Chains A and B, each alone.
Chain A
Amino acid sequence: TQLLEQSPQFLSIQEGENLTVYCNSSSVFSSLQWYRQEPGEGPVLLVTVVTGGEVKKLKRLTFQFGDARKDSSLHITAAQPGDTGLYLCAGVDSNYQLIWGAGTKLIIKP
Chain B
Amino acid sequence: KAGVTQTPRYLIKTRGQQVTLSCSPISGHRSVSWYQQTPGQGLQFLFEYFSETQRNKGNFPGRFSGRQFSNSRSEMNVSTLELGDSALYLCASSEIGQGNYGYTFGSGTRLTVV
Contacts and interface: CB of A to CB of B under 8 A. Distances in A.
Interface of A: 30-31, 33, 35, 40-45, 48, 50, 88, 92, 96-98, 100-103
Interface of B: 4, 33, 42-43, 45, 56, 90-92, 97-108, 110
Most B C-beta atoms less than 10 A away, residue of A31, A33, A43, A88: A43
Given A40-B107, A42-B107, A102-B42, A48 B97 contact: no
A37 B34 CA distance: 16
A17 B86 CA distance: 37
A92 B33 CA distance: 14
A33 B33 CA distance: 16
7 contacts: A33-B102, A88-B43, A92-B100, A96-B56, A96-B98, A98-B99, A103-B42
A31 B92 contact: no
B99 A31 contact: yes
Contacts of B91: 42
Contacts of B104: 45
Query: Which of B43, B56, B105 has the largest count of A CB atoms less than 10 A from its CB?
Result: B43
Nearest to B92: A42
B83 to A, nearest CB: 21
Nearest to A95: B56
A1 B94 CA distance: 25
B102 A45 contact: yes
Contacts of A44: 105
B103 A96 contact: no
Nearest to B98: A96
A97 B45 contact: yes
Which of A30, A96, A98, A102 is the most central at the interface, judged by chain B CB atoms within 10 Å of its CB? A98
